Structures are given as C-alpha cells and as structure tokens.
C-alpha cells in the first residue's frame, strides 16, 4: 500500500469495477467483518471523493500524525456523465473492499466542495455528510480546483498555473496558482467570470516566464478561447483526482487549517459547497429591486394575511412576500425604493460620514454587493451592506434606528449579509469601526472578530478606525436558519427493560430498549427537511421538521435551487436532533446511527434536486453505518400518515391526496396495493390556492392565508365554476377555476371597485371543496369502501375537513383524518412506510437514485 498504488481497472474500460451488491451484502461490509472494525480497529485512513464535474474521483490515504502526511494508498477516477449519484458509493465500496480497508478504519472523510456543477457538488457533499455522520468522524471540505492544481503538481507541472472549471451559462471558475517542487500556492479566491473575460484576463499574463499553464474542464468547451492565455495541459489533468484531494488535505493539515483526527472541529453539519453566486431567483430579485420602482415600496413588508382594510392591490402581485420574524420584524434585501429612507437613517446614525440617497442606490445593482434591510410595517429599522472581494466580505455599513437597538437587528442583518456573501465565495469578513466606539467593538468581538490594525484619521471628523477581521457572522443555527419543529405528541414509545442491542449475561447493566427494528427516515422532496425514527411497534419516537417556507415566501413559491441548498445546510442538524429526541424519549444517554437497524428516505416523487440531497445523504449514512437502505414513495407516505392519527386504520379505503403538487383519489385495496381512480389534468389544489393567493396579494403559502380570509367572507357571494363536477369520471381540473378568479379580480379593478378579498377567497375555496366532495362520494360508491381518509398539505384546510365529515356521516362511512401536523410533508409518514418495507425485506442497492416522478400504482 505504498505511494502510487492504484486499483486495477476493468480490461479496456479504464474505470474501476463496480459492485452490484445490495446494501445488506455490500463488499465493504465484508471487509468490516474481516478486519473486525466493530471491535474497535484503530482508525488511520482517510477517504476522499469529488463529483464536481463529469468525473468521479476517489482517493484512499493512510494518515501519519507525527509528520502530518497523507500516504496515497489507492486512487480511482471514472467518467460519470449525470450518473454520480448512482456510481459514487458502489465505487467507494469496491475500492475499500479491494484494498481490504474496513469502514471502521476511516478516521476522516474529505470531500470536494466545488466550485463546479451545482448538482455534482451537492451529490458529493450530501454523501460525505451522511458517511461522516454515520461513522462519527470529521468531514473536511477542500476546493475541487485546488485538487486539480495539486494533481498537476504531482504530474511535474511547475510555475504559474490557471485552473478554469466550467460554470455553465458561458461562465467559468478561474483561479491562478504558483506550483513549485514544495507545493501549490493559491493566488486568488473562488469566483465566477464570463469565459471571454477570464480568457482576456489570463491572456494579459501571457508574457510571464515560464509561460502560464492552463487546465480545467472548461477547456473542453473553450480551448480556442484560452489558447492565447497559456499552454493547455493534457486532458487527463483537467479534473479533480483522488491524489489531488489527498494532497490538498495534507497541505491544509500541515498549515494548521485542518486536522483529520479532530472530528469535533470538522463537524459534518458545517461543511458546505462552494457556489460563488446566488441562485437565479435571488439574482433576478436583486436586479428587480435595484430599479426604483414604486411597487417595491411595499415589497415584503405587508402582513402575510392582511386585514380587510389592508388588502393588497393587484398592482402589488409582483412584490416580495417576506414573512415577519417572531418579533414582527421583516428582513428582506434592500431595494432602491427605500434608498431615501436609508439615507435619512444614515444621517441620524452616521453623522458627517453618512451616505446620500444616490450613493446608496448606486450600490444595489453591483453584482459584488449584498444589502439587507429590516422593517416594521413601512418603518425602516436598520440596514447592512457588504462588498465581496477576494474571498472576503467587507462590511460597508451597519445602521440601526437608535430607538430599536438591543433587539438583535444588527446581528440578524449581518447574518443575512454573511449568508449571501458565503454563496458569492466569501469565507471571512472584515470591517472598520470607530476607535472610540467601545460598544460596537465588543459586539464584533462577541462575533469572533479581532483587531488587525488602525486606519489613522479614517473618519471625516479625524477619528481613527480599527480594522477588524473574523469569520462570517452567520446566524447561530446548524439547520440553515430554520426553526425546528419537534412533534412531542407523536414522539412517544413504550420503553421496555433490556439492552439496546439485546440482553447478554455478564455484560454491563442493561439500558432501556424499544421494540426492534429502529428505523430513521428522511424526507426532502420539496421545502421541508425532516427526519423521524420509528420502532418495531410503529411508535414514532422522534419526528422533526425544519421548514424552509420563510426562505421561499419572498418569491411567492418554492424555488428548487434554494430548496436544494437549504437541504444541504440543514440535513445534518435535523438528523442529529432526531437522534437526540429519540434517545431522550427512550431513556437513553445517546443514540447513534450504529444503533439503528435501517435508514429510509423519500426517493420520489418531488423536486429532483431536493430529493437528490436526501437520497445521497441517506445512502451515505446507511453505507457508513453498515445498515440497509429503504426507499419510500412520498405519495405512499401521505397514505400512511393516517396511521399517525388512527393507529388502527386499515385498508380498504378511498384516499383523497390533495397537496401543492397532487390532486388525486386513490383506492387502497391493501397496504402497498393502490389504484389511482382519478387525478387532476392540470393544476393541483395546493397550486391553485397559491396562485389565487398571489393574485390577491396575500403572500405565500396560499392555503393558510386563503383559509383565514375565507373565514371572513361569504362562500355564496360569487358563482365561480365547478370544473368537471359532472364529468362522470373522477378526474379534476383547477386551471379554469383559477383563471376565473383572476379574471373576476381584474374586472372588478377595471370597473373601479376594490375586490372583496374575503368573499373571493370564500367563494373560491367553496368551489374547490364542492368538487372534491362530489368526486369523493362517487369514488366511495364506485369502490364500496367503508373508510375514507385524507393526505397532503391541503388536508389541513378546515372547510374541506368539515365537508368530508358531513359526507361520511351521511354515507355512514368511517372518516380518518391525519393530525394537522401530519398533513404537510414530514418524515413520520415515511418512517411508517419504511417499517412495513423493512419487514418485507425491500431494500435498495448502492446505486439507488432519486426520481422526480413515480407511479403510485406500480409496486417498487
């Protein structure tokens, strides 16, 4: 196992052989048994991998603590065009098995953080987080571009080097390095630049001696464009390699920036991808807000559910729908319409150093600037802005209304600026503060800042400025700033006497135990990151949800890219909390991944990027813990949610699935035996609620606010159409109803009348309910089922629940309703499905993947 030893490839393929074994008999599990990892074999290896582009790179290294060196044991690279999530773990499993290294011998996981393909980076990061969490080891993130540079250095390249990775959209990630016999020196921060601009920038250095070497996968597209800039390296040096990842770790270790043996320092929860830019939705938002449009004046500062006398006009349909925090303060990106208000507050708190309105407005369109503001109604409470340059965000301004201080506004504004700056490539933060402002200095010191030096006579009155530097002042959350929802009512289990792993004579005093198996389930199909644990008797001993709704509200709906990013940030914290809550309910000191019997995850249907994060993490955790993996259909989870409120619920039954993405009637002939009787031919019910709420200016999500307004209105006020109510089949259509509502609103305004929001909401809601109930009655009569139940987020609608109660009472049919907390997406329902699949032995292999669509009627 010395330097340079590589795994033998398949004949003629040039790629590592892949195990096609399922989880229960994975090849690395055999190595675990052979090496006795469960008996405490000393961890001394590091596993590194990267999928930032079209290549899977894997490296296995031996750690030597005294010399802080990483000995390369084995490396493998393989092309994986859009197949990283299916190939990564099988290749890792095969590599460790062929080297005879057990998973328990891994002391650390190293992952390429990017920049690169957003999807590819997230697959590697989510997998690494799962593996490291399950093994209880540290996770060290290294730059994928650094790995390319280190591989070039190992190949003998010396002198100036530029790595240019493909960033899509005719952009690249360019970073310059200096390579010597001793190592690699990075000369710039991660950033995203138009390919033509990057090529011109590098071409300006073409006079250097020796000539600049150029590498990176962007050369596959832009070889001619970068030809004048320098000498291209061979294509085999364009992508990250296992060797490059291990060498990047060694460099960080020797520099004191990483310690592969320090798991606490490298908690997997805090490892994040490198993006270098905001999501498309956020970038477009910034462009819009930089324009001094009067419509922006109301952006994000209205109530989510306005009172009758505060209804938003149709002219405000493009506004942001930011939701207030617990203290009623709304935080949103600063817009040009509020530049004058910022200037006025500047004059109040900054004195002669205040910026005028034009200076503030000039900042907003700049792509390297980040500005946030805090409001109470229309009153500006505070603002903060930063400039992202060379991997650092320089805080330009922080101002808070003196009457609003000591409410945490400055800290929250800085956290918002820092979060955006991180996504733009910043890793640290700097600022200037008056030498005499002791209070502000103490505030920054509490955030981890330290003083670097002084700028003499920096301020207009001649006072010195202290230069302070520190980490990004992110919010102190490990679940991406989301509030954790712990359903204590459902997290109950019967605790029995006995050891968690079984009673064995002569062992230490037994600990409390639960009925086996213990299964942890993960749900990430849309904008909730959730985890739950179920025991063998169907008791949910923990059920945790972290909702992203506040992050999506300002866009009026779920933004898939933001959802994926937030899942990556939150998933470790949510699972850790789930394990802790379960341990407390079971009377245990702690509960780990190794104490579980299986890991389950929603694999379909849903947002592909969001599902992929959950699946990759769950696969990594299951592999790391040596446990089987169970895939669950999200829609089946909503069927099982009825067991949460009624444990004795059994099919046959008719189920109405009504959510943001689905409207369907299902005949449950038995568990796992389903027939879709009818579904929507266009919009889903939840989608229609969201669109009508947006048209009324009520904010997002639409279901709750429509329901609130409808309670104040007359459901018979407006005769909206009941589409397909008498079609004779069980299909639905919501598009026509939605269009009718929007048309009615526009006609009212054209006539000079302000629409009556409560009456519109009530009439729209009643039109939906009437069709749903009519079709449900048809389904019950058609199937002869004596039980009816609900599933999905819209199942929480009180008018719909009441209407179904009346229907079932009239038909003498049992009605089963999930608790309100179980109507939305949650992992408890996924765990209940997983329990049955565990007993049936339905496990997933290492190459399992997420699917955006899945037919509920087809067994899986």
Least confident of 345-359, 472-486, 671-685, 822-836: 472-486
Q: Say if 23-144+244-270 and 280-424 have the same CATH topology.
A: no
Least confident of 8-22, 491-505, 534-548: 8-22
Indicate the length of the chain as a whole number: 860
pTM for the full predicted model: 0.88
The residues spanned by each domain of the chain are: 23-144+244-270, 149-238, 280-424, 484-641, 653-819
State the pLDDT at residue 693.
93
pLDDT tens digits for range 93-136: 999 999 999 999 999 999 999 999 999 999 999 999 999 999 99
State the pLDDT at residue 553.
86
Report the chain's mean pLDDT, rounded to a whole number. Answer: 87
Query: In the structure, what pLDDT confidence band is assigned to residue 504 with cuts at 50, 70 and 90?
Result: very low
Query: In the structure, what pLDDT confidence band is assigned to residue 359 with cuts at 50, 70 and 90?
Result: very high
Which CATH architecture does the domain made up of 280-424 adopt?
3-Layer(aba) Sandwich (3.40)
Mean pLDDT throughout 752-779? 96
Three-state DSSP class for 686?
helix
State the pLDDT at residue 775.
96
* pLDDT over 90, % of the chain: 77
Homologous superfamily (CATH) for 653-819: ATPase, nucleotide binding domain (3.30.420.40)
State the pLDDT at residue 293.
63
State the pLDDT at residue 488.
47
**Which class is 484-641 in CATH?**
alpha beta
Q: How far is CA 189 from CA 102, 145, 146, 425, 810, in A?
A: 37, 11, 11, 7, 69
Tokens encoding 683? 């919009």
Query: In the structure, what pLDDT confidence band is assigned to residue 29 with cuts at 50, 70 and 90?
Result: low
State the pLDDT at residue 479.
66
Mean pLDDT throughout 522-536? 96
User: Which of 273, 52, 79, 86 is closest to 168 using CA atoms?
Assistant: 52
Tokens encoding 326? 């617990």
Query: In the structure, what pLDDT confidence band is assigned to residue 322 with cuts at 50, 70 and 90?
Result: low
Q: Which helix (H) or strand (E) holds 73?
A: strand 69-79
> In the predicted model, is pLDDT for residue 494 greater than 50?
no
Adjacent-strand bridge partners of 465:
434, 455
Q: How far is the C-alpha of 545 from the C-alpha of 259, rounded, in Å?
A: 32
Least confident of 441-455, 492-506, 691-705, 732-746: 492-506
203: burial class by Cβ within 10 Å (0-12, 13-18, 19+)? middle
Query: In the structure, what pLDDT confidence band is assigned to residue 20 with cuts at 50, 70 and 90?
Result: very low
> In the predicted model, is pLDDT for residue 851 greater than 90?
yes
> In the predicted model, is pLDDT for residue 323 greater than 70?
no
State the pLDDT at residue 14.
31
Mean pLDDT throughout 422-430? 91
State the pLDDT at residue 127.
98
Q: How far is the C-alpha of 750 from the C-alpha of 540, rounded, in Å?
A: 54
Tokens encoding 796? 């929480």
Query: In the structure, what pLDDT confidence band is assigned to residue 321 with cuts at 50, 70 and 90?
Result: low
State the pLDDT at residue 30.
52
Mean pLDDT throughout 559-585? 95
Which CATH architecture does the domain made up of 149-238 adopt?
2-Layer Sandwich (3.30)
Three-state DSSP class for 34?
helix
- Is 423 annotated to bind a ligand? Reply is no
pLDDT tens digits for range 170-190: 999 999 999 999 999 999 999
- Is 634 annotated to bind a ligand? Reply is yes
> In the predicted model, is pLDDT for residue 496 greater than 90?
no
- Is 825 annotated to bind a ligand? Reply is yes
Mean pLDDT throughout 147-163? 96
Mean pLDDT throughout 779-787? 96
- Is 659 annotated to bind a ligand? Reply is yes
State the pLDDT at residue 309.
35
> In the predicted model, is pLDDT for residue 588 greater than 50?
yes
Q: How far is CA 183 from CA 180, 308, 322, 448, in A?
A: 5, 68, 48, 31
Mean pLDDT throughout 825-843? 97
- Is 657 annotated to bind a ligand? Reply is yes
* pLDDT over 70, % of the chain: 87
Query: In the structure, what pLDDT confidence band is assigned to residue 700 with cuts at 50, 70 and 90?
Result: confident
763: burial class by Cβ within 10 Å (0-12, 13-18, 19+)? buried
State the pLDDT at residue 205.
79
> In the predicted model, is pLDDT for residue 55 greater than 70?
yes
Q: Which CATH number fits domain 23-144+244-270: 3.40.50.2000, 3.30.420.40, 1.10.3720.10, 1.10.10.10?
A: 3.30.420.40
Query: In the structure, what pLDDT confidence band is assigned to residue 209 with cuts at 50, 70 and 90?
Result: confident
Query: In the structure, what pLDDT confidence band is assigned to residue 497 with cuts at 50, 70 and 90?
Result: very low
- Is 658 annotated to bind a ligand? Reply is yes
């Amino acid at each position: 196992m010395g330097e340079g030893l590589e795994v033998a490839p398949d004949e003629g393929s040039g790629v590592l052989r892949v195990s096609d074994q399922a989880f229960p008999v994975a090849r690395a599990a055999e190595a675990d048994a052979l090496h006795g990892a469960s008996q405490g074999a000393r961890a001394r290896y590091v596993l590194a991998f990267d999928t930032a582009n079209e290549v899977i790179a894997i490296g296995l290294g031996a750690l030597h603590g005294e010399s802080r060196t990483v000995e390369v044991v084995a490396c493998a690279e393989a092309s994986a065009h859009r197949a990283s999530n299916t190939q990564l773990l099988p290749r890792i499993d095969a590599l460790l098995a062929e080297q005879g290294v057990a998973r328990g011998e891994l002391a650390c996981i190293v992952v390429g953080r990017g920049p690169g393909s957003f999807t590819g980076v997230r697959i590697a990061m989510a997998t690494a987080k799962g593996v490291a969490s399950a093994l209880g080891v540290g996770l060290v993130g290294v730059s994928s571009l650094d790995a390319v540079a280190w591989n070039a250095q190992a190949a003998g390249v010396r002198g100036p080097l530029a790595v240019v990775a493909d960033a899509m959209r005719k952009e690249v990630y360019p970073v310059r390095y200096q390579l010597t016999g001793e190592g690699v020196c990075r000369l710039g921060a991660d950033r995203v630049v138009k390919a033509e601009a990057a090529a011109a920038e590098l071409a300006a250095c073409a006079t250097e001696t020796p000539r600049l070497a150029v590498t990176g996968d962007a050369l596959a597209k832009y070889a001619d464009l970068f030809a004048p800039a320098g000498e291209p390296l061979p294509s085999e040096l364009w992508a990250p390699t296992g060797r490059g990842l291990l060498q990047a770790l060694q460099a960080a270790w020797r520099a004191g920036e990483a310690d592969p043996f320090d798991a606490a320092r490298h908690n997997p929860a805090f490892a994040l991808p490198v993006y270098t830019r905001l999501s498309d939705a956020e970038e477009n938002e910034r462009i819009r807000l930089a324009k001094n449009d009067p419509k922006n004046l109301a952006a994000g500062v209205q109530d989510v559910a306005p009172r009758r006398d505060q209804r938003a006009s149709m002219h405000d349909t493009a506004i942001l729908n930011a939701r207030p925090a617990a203290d009623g303060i709304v935080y949103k990106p600063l817009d040009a319409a509020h530049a004058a208000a910022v200037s006025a507050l500047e004059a109040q708190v900054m004195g002669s150093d205040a910026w005028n309105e034009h200076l503030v407005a000039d900042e907003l369109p700049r792509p390297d600037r980040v500005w946030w503001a805090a409001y109470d109604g229309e009153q500006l409470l505070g603002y903060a802005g930063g400039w992202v340059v060379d991997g650092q965000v320089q805080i330009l301004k922080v101002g808070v209304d003196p009457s609003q201080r000591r409410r945490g506004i400055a800290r929250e504004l800085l956290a918002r600026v820092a979060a955006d700056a991180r996504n733009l490539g910043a890793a640290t933060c700097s600022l200037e503060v008056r030498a005499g402002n002791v209070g502000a200095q103490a505030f920054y010191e509490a955030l981890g800042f330290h003083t670097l030096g002084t700028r003499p006579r920096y301020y207009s009155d001649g006072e010195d400025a202290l230069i302070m530097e520190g980490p990004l002042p992110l919010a102190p959350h490990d679940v991406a700033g989301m509030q954790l929802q712990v359903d204590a009512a459902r997290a109950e289990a019967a605790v029995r006497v006995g050891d968690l792993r079984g009673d064995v004579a002569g062992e230490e005093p037994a600990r409390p135990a639960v009925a086996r198996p213990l299964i942890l389930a993960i749900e990430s199909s849309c904008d909730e990151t959730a985890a739950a644990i179920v025991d063998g008797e169907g008791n949910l001993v923990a059920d945790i949800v972290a909702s992203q709704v506040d992050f999506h509200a300002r866009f009026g709906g779920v933004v898939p890219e933001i959802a994926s990013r937030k899942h990556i940030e939150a998933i470790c914290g949510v699972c850790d909390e789930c394990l802790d809550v379960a341990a407390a309910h079971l009377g245990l000191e702690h509960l780990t991944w190794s104490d579980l019997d299986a890991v389950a995850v929603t694999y379909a249907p849903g947002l592909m990027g969001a599902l992929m994060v959950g699946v990759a993490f769950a696969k990594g955790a299951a592999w790391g813990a040596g446990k089987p993996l169970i895939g669950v259909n999200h829609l089946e989870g909503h069927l099982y949610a009825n067991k949460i409120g009624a444990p004795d619920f059994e099919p046959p039954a008719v189920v109405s699935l009504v959510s943001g993405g689905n409207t369907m009637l299902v005949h449950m002939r038995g568990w796992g035996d389903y027939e879709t009787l009818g579904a929507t031919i266009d919009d889903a019910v939840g989608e229609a609620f969201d669109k009508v709420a947006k048209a009324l200016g009520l904010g997002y999500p639409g279901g709750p606010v429509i329901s609130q307004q409808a309670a104040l209105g007359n459901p018979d006020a407006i005769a909206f159409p009941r589409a397909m109510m008498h079609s004779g089949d069980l299909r639905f259509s919501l598009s026509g109803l939605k269009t009718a509502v929007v048309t009615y609103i526009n006609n009212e305004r054209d006539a000079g009348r302000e629409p009556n929001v409560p009456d519109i909401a009530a009439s729209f809601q009643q039109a939906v309910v009437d069709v749903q109930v009519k079709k449900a009655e048809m389904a019950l009569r058609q199937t002869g089922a004596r039980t009816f139940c609900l599933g999905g987020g819209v199942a929480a609608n009180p008018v719909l629940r009441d209407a179904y109660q009346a229907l079932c009472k009239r038909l003498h049919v049992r009605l089963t309703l999930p608790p309100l907390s179980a109507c939305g997406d949650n992992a408890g329902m996924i765990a209940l499905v997983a329990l049955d699949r565990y007993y049936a032995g339905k496990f997933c292999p290492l190459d399992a993947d997420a699917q955006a669509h899945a037919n509920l009627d087809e067994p899986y």
